[in-house]
Amino acid sequence: MSTINRRAFFQRTLAAAGATAVAAHGAQGQTTAPVPINIAKAAADPAYKIRNGHLKQTVMGWCFKPMEMMDLARHCKEIGLKGMEGIDRKYYPEVKALGMDISLVGSHSFGKGPCNPEFHDEVVQQLTEAINVAADVGSKKVITFTGMRYEGMDHDEAAKRCLDTWKEVLPLAEKKGITLVLEHLNSRDNTHPMKGHPGYFGDNVDFCIDLVKQIGSPNFKLLFDIYHVSIMNGDVIRRIRANHEYIGHYHTAGNPGRCELDENQEINYPPIVKAIIETGYDDFIAQEFIPTWQDTVLALRHACMVCDV
């Protein structure tokens, strides 16, 4: 952030805080209930565009529904994001025509994963299809998941099934130049179907990193979702530094609530992003928060500013 923009940010923040203090007192100086404000929202720059670009910021489209996807795409282009993911494949040509990338191609669902033998064939089929789609649209990554625990599951056998299934499709991924990225998810939050995933097998990031190590291919890495790691394991910066060679993609969101990256959540994103950059990673980081601000585009601009270190 430039000196001028930093000064403007704090001026707006102080003005907002001052307004709250005034509102908290009556005409006779009697204290009343304080008026809640969102400092980040009050200080957000409605014209902010990504300037530093050390990481290629992208967005998870599903978070911004019901906004029409191509409207979101045009806002992303104007803000300076480099790609989109988590969108219907029918939008890929139009997104590419705007000069943006498809940063990640979807495959099977997180609920139907390779840990369960019932879904083996479906997972192989959908991963194979996704790898071919990614190659066709010039994307370099395809997401995968472990799937959900089930009654009678043996942990070691389930882990082996995951490894064996991924090894089935890896030769195609390697041939096509595609990296499969395994997403770790939290199993603690049960308030919303997309804020947490109770019963998810790969809910320990260290376990997921071990799976990546056992695969032993540069075309199989971890999708390090900062929000999920914060909830389940914490110690985010140290984990990034220790395991960066096994990480192939990043996601963001505020915790708790999968909200904006503002002061109403606990994750301090600028030093985390700085640590990611210091590892040498210069690829995609996706904004995957569910907006609560009425102006969802302003929320996206603010998140991009926070991560543009």
Q: Output the pLDDT for position 18.
A: 42
Give the tens place of pLDDT for each residue, 218-244.
Answer: 999 999 999 999 999 999 999 999 999
Distance of CA 109 to the CA centre of its chain: 16
In a domain, 15, yes or no: yes
Looking at the fold, whether 202 and 83 belong to one and the same domain comes out as yes
CATH number of the domain where residue 150 is located? 3.20.20.150
Looking at the fold, whether 6 and 56 belong to one and the same domain comes out as no
Q: Is the dihedral of CA 223, 229, 231, 236 positive or negative?
A: negative
Instruction: Compute the average pLDDT of residues 209-222.
Output: 98
Whole-number Å distance between alpha carbons of 255 and 106? 24
Looking at the fold, whether 170 and 23 belong to one and the same domain comes out as no
Structure tokens at 207: 């376990």
In a domain, 53, yes or no: yes
Q: Output the pLDDT for position 7.
A: 45
| Residue 3 scores a pLDDT above 50 | no
Provide the residue type at 219 as one letter: N
Q: Residue 33's domain spans which residues? A: 1-37
Helix, strand, coil percentages (3-state) for the chain, rounded to 5, are 45, 15, 40
Contact 253, 293 (CB under 8 A): no
Predicted structure pTM score: 0.89
Cα distances from 144 to residues 2, 92, 118, 241, 264, in angstroms, run 39, 19, 16, 23, 31
Looking at the fold, whether 64 and 29 belong to one and the same domain comes out as no
Looking at the fold, whether 7 and 59 belong to one and the same domain comes out as no
- Identify whether 66 is preceded by a cis peptide bond (ω within 30 of 0): yes
| Residue 20 scores a pLDDT above 70 | no
Contact 53, 308 (CB under 8 A): yes
CB atoms within 10 A of CB 87: 23
Looking at the fold, whether 33 and 67 belong to one and the same domain comes out as no
pLDDT tier at 24, thresholds 50, 70, 90: very low
Looking at the fold, whether 66 and 153 belong to one and the same domain comes out as yes
Looking at the fold, whether 104 and 10 belong to one and the same domain comes out as no
Give the tens place of pLDDT for each residue, 131-177.
Answer: 999 999 999 999 999 999 999 999 999 999 999 999 999 999 999 99
In a domain, 43, yes or no: no
In a domain, 55, yes or no: yes
In a domain, 42, yes or no: no
Looking at the fold, whether 82 and 3 belong to one and the same domain comes out as no
Structure tokens at 60: 């998870």
Whole-number Å distance between alpha carbons of 132 and 139? 10
Contact 3, 11 (CB under 8 A): no
Give the tens place of pLDDT for each residue, 80-116.
Answer: 999 999 999 999 999 999 999 999 999 999 999 999 9
In a domain, 100, yes or no: yes
Looking at the fold, whether 91 and 207 belong to one and the same domain comes out as yes
Number of domains in the chain: 2
Whole-number Å distance between alpha carbons of 210 and 196? 22
In a domain, 262, yes or no: yes
In a domain, 105, yes or no: yes
Give the tens place of pLDDT for each residue, 190-207.
Answer: 999 999 999 999 999 999
Give the tens place of pLDDT for each residue, 25-44.
Answer: 344 444 445 545 688 888 89
CB atoms within 10 A of CB 197: 21
Q: Output the pLDDT for position 37.
A: 63
Structure tokens at 66: 């019901």
Looking at the fold, whether 29 and 58 belong to one and the same domain comes out as no
| Residue 15 scores a pLDDT above 50 | no
Percent of the chain whose predicted confidence (pLDDT) is above 70:
88
Q: Output the pLDDT for position 43.
A: 83
Looking at the fold, whether 5 and 149 belong to one and the same domain comes out as no
